[in-house]
Amino acid sequence: MDVLAEYGYIGLFIASFLAATILPLSSEFVLIYLLLNNYDPFLSITVATTGNVLGSFVNYALGFWGSFLVMERLLRLSQTEIARSEQRFKKYGVFSLLFAWVPIIGDPLTVAAGVLKINIYLFLILVTAGKLFRYIIVGISVLSL
């Protein structure tokens, strides 16, 4: 993560994108590093949100067009995890996508949204809102130190 932080906004975008896809990275670390080093808060939060949402869109696309074999191998998600995420959708509705940023459940939720063929515009609005809110909270916390 230190290496990504050294690349500024590009490193933040990469960390945020990968954190939402296949690697267990913490994009928050890079965001905090940049904010503590006087990078623009608005631009930093925008870059982090954009990268993270695009990573979630990859998960959605894999769920929409991919097979369970691809999801298991590429995302390391079991059919059980995806089935649980589908059940969450049925129980809590599409608004569960507001929690796509939550570790462990977030990636399977975005894949399940693709499997269930949730409207892409609604997907993007909800995922963006949840992830943006999370990064704003991180940013406010750091800047208030």
Mean pLDDT of 129-140: 97
The more confident residue out of 129 and 3 is: 129
Instruction: Please report the pLDDT score of residue 135 as a whole number.
Output: 97
Contact in structure between 137 and 107 (CB atoms under 8 Å): no
Task: Please state the domain extents for the chain.
Answer: 2-143
Distance CA 7, CA 101 (A): 23
pLDDT tens digits for range 51-109 = 999 999 998 998 888 766 666 666 666 778 777 777 877 788 899 999 999 887 788 88
pTM of this prediction?
0.87
Distance CA 82, CA 48 (A): 26
Q: Is the pLDDT of residue 22 over 70?
A: no
Instruction: Please report the pLDDT score of residue 104 as a whole number.
Output: 76
